[in-house]
Amino acid sequence: MPAWEGKSRGTPLGYRIFVAVLTWFGVLPAYALLRVVVLYYFLFSPRSSRLLFHYFHSRLQFGRLRSVALIYQNYYRLGQSIIDKVVIMAGIRNRFSFHFDGEEHLRTIKDMQKGGLLLSAHLGNWEIAGHLLKRLDTRIHVVMFDGEQEQIKKYMEGVTGPRSIQVIIIKEDLSHIYAISEALKKNELVCIHADRFIEGNKTMNHLFLGREARFPAGPFILAATFKVPVSFVFAFKETSLHYHLYASEPKWYTDLPRQEMMELLLDEFVKDMEAKARQYPAQWFNYYNFWETA
């Protein structure tokens, strides 16, 4: 089974150090400090590095040397995404710029007054995407596992305040399904990752980067059940201070049978996800065997 358990890494002390550097010196000095931290993970995280090497070398077909270089770049991009999240959510002064490719598609979904599902993946920086979606002037809900360590979560909320977007926590009693239903009934947007699952949940198989992988069935069941328009949304870091956001045209297949609609949406989502993975290979943040036991 995929060895992902919905938990994040890091310590409260590490977060405090970076927040202090950000507050006193700014983003670029924090990136410089990050280089040291990244070197540690690069040298002493053999399991995740091995899985990343498989992704770069076997799935994306990069040479061995480039694959090793991309492992370091991946850790660095992950650290930058965490720093950028703190900067944006805490309102720390910055010079970030953004390009939103497809914003009109999300405004179309909003104007349809049917509610909508925004499907994303652990590619790029979803926290940045969620923050910028506020400009749509509608309520946004993000469905997620509550995987942060309690100490880190409490400290970060003290720094940034409560999240500006509404969070729906996935729970074993399935109460999150009712929260999603209520949000969609109010014509609001619900953002959910469609690339990770906890073992035991329903999954669907699909060819991804040349080999079959398992994807969570939940997001596609929701789309087929509530029959709301769907868009695929991603945000990628292109330079130190610039982000590129993408939103696909609305997918709305109300006349299709449930299973056929699920399979069509999965196929389209995987194709979009695969294209983004090839375009931004270093911003793949799934640190487990994505293709195991498909």
The 10s digit of each residue's pLDDT in 192-229 is 999 988 888 899 999 999 999 999 999 999 999 999 99
Average pLDDT over residues 89-102: 85
What does the buried/exposed string (b/e) look like for 98-133 if buried means 16 or more CB atoms within 10 Å of the residue's CB? eebebbebbebbbeeebbbbbbbbbbbbbbbbbbbb
Q: Which residues pair with 168 in a beta bridge?
A: 143
Residues 11 and 37: beta-carbon distance below 8 Å: no
Confidence band of 164 (pLDDT split at 50, 70, 90): low
Average pLDDT over residues 245-266: 93
Distance CA 44, CA 206 (A): 33
pLDDT exceeds 80 at position 151: no
Residue labelled with tokens 């953002």: 191
| Strand stretches in the chain, DSSP E | 97-101, 116-120, 140-144, 166-169, 189-193, 203-208, 211-216, 230-239, 242-247
Strands 140-144 and 211-216: unpaired
Closest alpha carbon to 281 in 63, 116, 133: 63
- Amino acid 11: pLDDT: 60
What does the buried/exposed string (b/e) look like for 206-217 if buried means 16 or more CB atoms within 10 Å of the residue's CB? bebbeeebbbbb
pLDDT exceeds 70 at position 181: yes
- Amino acid 157: pLDDT: 52
Strands 140-144 and 189-193: parallel
Backbone angles phi, psi at 170, to 5 degrees: -70, 125
- Amino acid 232: pLDDT: 97
Distance CA 166, CA 28 (A): 30
pLDDT exceeds 50 at position 1: no
Confidence band of 9 (pLDDT split at 50, 70, 90): low
Average pLDDT over residues 56-76: 97
Mean pLDDT of the chain: 85
Percent of the chain with pLDDT over 90: 57
